Copies of this chain bind each other. A is one copy, B any other.
Amino acid sequence: MGLNETLAELAGLQKKLYAFQTASSSLYLDATTTAPKDTAEGRGVALGILAGERHDLLTASETGALLDLLWSQKDALDQLHRRQVEELRRERDRLTRIPADEYTRYAMLTNKAGDVWRRAKEQNDFELFRPVLEELVAYNIKFAGYYDSVKAPYDALLDEYERGVDMERLDSFFATLRARIVPLLQAIGEKEPPDDSFLRRHYPVEGQRKLSDHLMQVLGLDRAHCAIGETEHPYTLEFNNKDVRITTHYHEDDVASSMYSVIHEGGHAKYELGISDDVQYTCLAGGVSMGVHESQSRFYENLIGRSLPFIQAIFPKMQELFPEQLGDVTAEQFYRAVNKVQPSLIRTEADELTYCLHTMVRYEIEKQLIGGTLQVKDVPEVWARLYQEYLGVDVPDDRQGCLQDSHWSGGAFGYFPSYALGSAYGAQMLREMERDIDVWGPVSRGDLSQVSEWLREKVHRFGGLLEPADVVKNACGDLDPTVLTDYLERKYRALYGL
């Protein structure tokens, strides 16, 4: 078999993986948007089989032989194919190291854990979730050993979400953030908070839907390739670079909630839609890592979306849509309101400044759980202590404490730092962008095309072609948390007159 035929097989393999992924995504989209209530069972059967097909295909000996053959000729491959083989081999290695029976039992456990977590949260009952969480932690410690038996277990897990990142780097990263954010927060706490009561007037869903349409237009999201739906929890789902869906949730007593969900998810969608055609239907399609993905969503949400120039650009349209609710409000007042700093209990509702502290709490707990220095039963207590220490708030119950996030129930340990890394990358990208182009003039006129173009060129188009760290480095240099803290200091000192 010649190289061209072998490469055709490689393409065929990846198209199959793409088809299974597309099928699962479609079922997930349906489940969260339009499926009737009591239909999970049949969908679960189909999803389980599709996941099994993907697993069987990747771990098949024919797949191993194909990838080994190509790897043996890697010097003859172009970058695109070499990278595909490298990534597929890594994924295959990872899967084959987990014994098949453990893989199946773990899949069943995470499937069950989602339901148990939801009930535990509803009933504010950590004890209900505890045994499942213990099992999940034990599996993840074991799997970490399969992934990399040399590294510390939590480092091996971190590597899954943001390759190249480990505890040593994160400890220093978070220490810098904490050292700068906590005193800033204390200083802000002594100042008069801005009035944000008008955000909670009555904003009918119909008007909010029109606002979403307008925001998508300003973001430059082509509606022929990007639809918006409504779900309980907003998310972005990518089928390919020509077909991305975002979702939001409308709260009639909170205009900022859906507004910033749309901008956040819109940032994820911009990334996916900006990926080059070259990598479509391959394992390199899609954003390169969670950290880089969050850098894009948080870039649009915070660095652009919560800036005064952006708000000045969209505020006339908002007043047109909500004349009674916003007629007596200025763009400047709105800007202050959506940047109100308020230490709180719930991560997803946190402001830009305190957000990193929420992820830090989770990082500290995960590090100790996977490191074996913290027992699951003690999580609620440590959670409460850290929230008091970092944010100065009392945690009244576990529902608003360690049961608030779905991540652990899905088996995701090591994911949370991506959110903070994304914020840091985004701040660094903004600094570079400001050196290259006039960012704020066009943004203040509602023109985000140059911003889009810069991000597409520097970040989006590569997809998974480069390592996450290389994407970041090419776009804005090595990770440096002081760029984020400098930005936050500048912004919040000005806002609060410090």
- Chain A residues with a Cβ under 8 A of chain B: 15-16, 18-19, 22-24, 26-27, 29-30, 33-39, 41-43, 45-46, 49-50, 53, 223-227, 229, 239-240, 242-243, 245, 280-281
Assembly CA distance A224 to B15 (angstroms): 35
Q: Which residues of B contact A242 (CB under 8 A)?
A: 38-39, 41-42
Q: Tell me if A49 and B243 are in contact (CB < 8 A).
A: no
Assembly CA distance A45 to B24 (angstroms): 15
Assembly CA distance A27 to B243 (angstroms): 12
Q: Tell me if A45 and B18 are in contact (CB < 8 A).
A: yes
Known: A30-B26, A33-B34, A36-B224. A239 touches B19 (CB 8 A): no
Assembly CA distance A24 to B22 (angstroms): 10
Q: Tell me if A226 and B36 are in contact (CB < 8 A).
A: yes
Q: Tell me if A280 and B226 are in contact (CB < 8 A).
A: no
Q: Which 8 A-B pairs have the closest CB atoms?
A: A23-B23, A19-B49, A39-B243, A42-B240, A22-B46, A38-B224, A26-B26, A19-B46
> Smallest Cβ distance from A191 to chain B, in angstroms?
45
Q: Which residues of B contact A33 (CB under 8 A)?
A: 34
Known: A49-B15, A49-B16. A22 touches B34 (CB 8 A): no
Q: Which B-chain residue is minimally distant from A223 (CB atoms)?
A: B36
Q: Which residues of B contact A281 (CB under 8 A)?
A: 42, 45
Q: Which residues of B contact A226 (CB under 8 A)?
A: 36
- Among A24, A30, A34, A245, the one with the most B-chain Cβ atoms within 10 Å of its Cβ is A30
Assembly CA distance A165 to B119 (angstroms): 54
- Of the residues B15, B38, B41, contact of A45 by C-beta under 8 Å: B15
Assembly CA distance A245 to B19 (angstroms): 23
Q: Tell me if B227 and A35 are in contact (CB < 8 A).
A: yes
Q: Which B-chain residue is minimally distant from A21 (CB atoms)?
A: B46
- Of the residues B42, B50, B225, contact of A23 by C-beta under 8 Å: B50
Q: Which residues of B contact A240 (CB under 8 A)?
A: 42
Can you list 28 A-B pairs, Cβ within 8 angstroms, ordered by A?
A: A15-B45, A16-B53, A18-B45, A18-B46, A19-B45, A19-B50, A19-B53, A22-B46, A23-B26, A23-B46, A23-B50, A26-B30, A35-B227, A35-B243, A36-B224, A36-B225, A36-B227, A36-B243, A37-B223, A38-B224, A38-B242, A39-B224, A39-B239, A42-B239, A42-B240, A43-B239, A45-B281, A46-B239
13 new A-B contacts, CB < 8 A, other than A26-B30, A33-B34, A34-B245, are A18-B45, A18-B46, A19-B49, A23-B23, A23-B27, A23-B46, A29-B30, A34-B34, A36-B243, A41-B242, A42-B240, A45-B281, A53-B53
Q: Which residues of B contact A22 (CB under 8 A)?
A: 27, 42-43, 46
Q: Which residues of B contact A38 (CB under 8 A)?
A: 224-225, 242
> Smallest Cβ distance from A277 to chain B, in angstroms?
11
Assembly CA distance A26 to B46 (angstroms): 11
Q: Which residues of B contact A36 (CB under 8 A)?
A: 223-227, 243
Q: Which residues of B contact A19 (CB under 8 A)?
A: 45-46, 49-50, 53
> Smallest Cβ distance from A180 to chain B, in angstroms?
42
Q: Which B-chain residue is minimally distant from A227 (CB atoms)?
A: B36
> Smallest Cβ distance from A213 to chain B, in angstroms?
13
Q: Which residues of B contact A245 (CB under 8 A)?
A: 34
Q: Which B-chain residue is minimally distant from A15 (CB atoms)?
A: B49
Q: Tell me if A39 and B229 are in contact (CB < 8 A).
A: no
Q: Which B-chain residue is minimally distant from A48 (CB atoms)?
A: B19
Assembly CA distance A242 to B36 (angstroms): 9
Assembly CA distance A242 to B30 (angstroms): 15
Q: Which B-chain residue is minimally distant from A27 (CB atoms)?
A: B26
> Smallest Cβ distance from A422 to chain B, in angstroms?
26
Assembly CA distance A37 to B223 (angstroms): 8
Assembly CA distance A37 to B243 (angstroms): 9
Q: Which B-chain residue is minimally distant from A16 (CB atoms)?
A: B49
